[in-house]
Structure 1
């Protein structure tokens, strides 16, 4: 997924869900960066509360997780001595539920990304300190040392690996959203889109992929109709009325929207997903630290501990993101190639 497109398409997809659900997230200030809450209110020692103050984006879940000495011993000395893990989010100005945004208390940075950062910090025996930035300033924060690690839906790319170390933790996927009553499913093959009408956001990575499929089908004498709407409310009205068969967008935004309309007449479901990197590579979302910082291994080991012991699955389930699970966190795994990053 091209970095400039992935960010834009993610925000557009999740903005759609926000508009439809009218979620009162409480907007963060519009400056370059700000400090957000550094602790999870109400959590006891050895516990992390997933989805607290998430305002309906997650099912609040409390999990047991304590320091693992064998993993915290791997930390760079300076980070270990500090007693804290400074976690960066690129969620200013408005946030993007369910991934990262200001919660219903109008102050706590919540979402799947901050919560995984809190879980990892607990394994490392560190206090999580969250800082919120604009997307561009998030990387400035890593470069300058203001941030130890970003948990902020950062796609692993070969270009970014020139400056940063990665510990992967989630698939980077797109998805098709359809009415719950629909019997159609995307099987991973573009040919089963023949005869369908699909909406997509203009200028996004998913539009690029969808138009490539449309061109392939046209060469085979088959038709795929692509529809565009001025806003996402219109997209979902078209989906509910049957004017389109599916909406193609970022999987997290679709997962969020599904939870928001689950108990309404316009309930929807996920009809299948596709890698944001294309058919030859599964895109990955990764914790991002300064290259050579020595954090990649303890971060990956902490995520793998959470995977083995069930807290990782509980985290994904709480945010309806179980379909983006990885079997293992990898250190600097293959990323999007330089000609597509």
Structure 2
């Protein structure tokens, strides 16, 4: 399957956080686009974009000053500049996947780090953001048809996708280990430290594939790594705080969300270390995705680099507890997940 790795990650996020997402509201997904536009327009006069505005604990509401950069607007394809808007695609239907994209506390506005970053990029380019929420599959249909200008939806840069799309990277694609705050264990990239541990993982996910490879290597060395599976995120979390497992290995954004939810509870958790979603040989990257040859990848990358240089990028990541996925620069079509592993 062409999009297997990233779509599995998205499904893992969606399934793993489904119960928690219900608490922030999943109703009225169909009206999310118009509501999110209104929230952006409210800030236009002050030259600011509000991120995590309706996050209900998944992020910290933050006002980020940003305004049009004329030289970057001038880089836009004529058709986009003339239209005056950036149509941003997000593939978060039906359930959403906090903290990346989900329906906010008003029960209608699409919020999350992904649509928020699309709004920031649109502001730098001097365009009105129009956020459209759809299913994962229809996100790509929208880009293919030209109805959507760019996808901001946790899309992994892969060589397979480069056959149809151009990319502008903006986050690392990371997995992470979640442990209780009292745990002294940390993962520093050395899988041998997992010897003797019991780790939970989602079945059929990219992280399971990596964990099982480590388990096989440890077994060959005469050491044991116990892998556990649970039916949902709640059961996994109960096993972690109850001491039945030592760690949970999952997508870094989903773990950031769970840690934020746990922060004020009697059983707080923490991030014990990250690992590239692309494996040991390549740092996976999440990228803004546009139709190949559209001419949008370069101006979007330049807008992202403006946000990085001027500090708005760091504020956006911090608002969503994703600072550990920062990139030093946005690249156009950087090396992606190889064709043999896409």
TM bucket (normalised to shorter chain) is: over 0.9
Q: Tell me how far apart the structure 1 counterparts of residues 232 and 134 of structure 2 sit (CA, whole Å).
A: 26
Q: Which residue number in structure 2 is paired with residue 226 of structure 1?
A: 227
Does the 8 Å CA contact 1:26/1:104 hold for their aligned counterparts? no
Aligned: 1:23 with 2:30:
no
Deviations 1:92-132 (A, max 9, x none): 11111110112112221110000000000000000000111
Aligned: 1:283 with 2:257:
no
Does the 8 Å CA contact 2:18/2:95 hold for their aligned counterparts? no
The TM-score normalised by the length of structure 2 is: 0.95
Q: Which residue number in structure 2 is paired with residue 8 of structure 1?
A: 8
The TM-score normalised by the length of structure 1 is: 0.96
After TM superposition, give the deviation of residue 3 of structure 1 in Å. 3.1
Q: Tell me how far apart the structure 2 counterparts of residues 145 and 208 of structure 1 sit (CA, whole Å).
A: 35
After TM superposition, give the deviation of residue 36 of structure 1 in Å. 5.4
Segments of structure 1 that go 5 or more residues without pairing to the other structure are none
Segments of structure 2 that go 5 or more residues without pairing to the other structure are none
Aligned: 1:205 with 2:185:
no
What is the alpha-carbon root mean square deviation over aligned residues?
A: 1.8
After TM superposition, give the deviation of residue 338 of structure 1 in Å. 0.2
Q: Between Structure 1 and Structure 2, which shows a larger proportion of helix residues?
A: 2
Does the 8 Å CA contact 1:206/1:276 hold for their aligned counterparts? yes
Q: Tell me how far apart the structure 2 counterparts of residues 38 and 20 of structure 1 sit (CA, whole Å).
A: 25
Q: Secondary structure at the match of 2:196?
A: coil
Q: Tell me how far apart the structure 2 counterparts of residues 330 and 9 of structure 1 sit (CA, whole Å).
A: 22
Q: Secondary structure at the match of 2:24?
A: coil
Q: Secondary structure at the match of 2:39?
A: coil
Q: Tell me how far apart the structure 1 counterparts of residues 18 and 284 of structure 2 sit (CA, whole Å).
A: 25
Q: Tell me how far apart the structure 2 counterparts of residues 254 and 2 of structure 1 sit (CA, whole Å).
A: 26
Q: Tell me how far apart the structure 1 counterparts of residues 35 and 103 of structure 2 sit (CA, whole Å).
A: 8
After TM superposition, give the deviation of residue 232 of structure 1 in Å. 1.8
Q: Which residue number in structure 2 is paired with residue 38 of structure 1?
A: 37
Deviations 1:132-181 (A, max 9, x none): 11100110100111000011110000000010010000000100000011
Which residues of 2 match residues 236-247 of structure 1 at below 5 A? 236-247=237-248
Q: Secondary structure at the match of 2:290?
A: strand
Cα gap change, 1:54/1:229 in structure 2, threshold over 3 Å: closer, same or farther? same
Aligned: 1:144 with 2:145:
yes
Which residues of 2 match residues 249-328 of structure 1 at below 5 A? 249-328=250-329
Deviates more, 1:164-173 or 1:14-23: 14-23
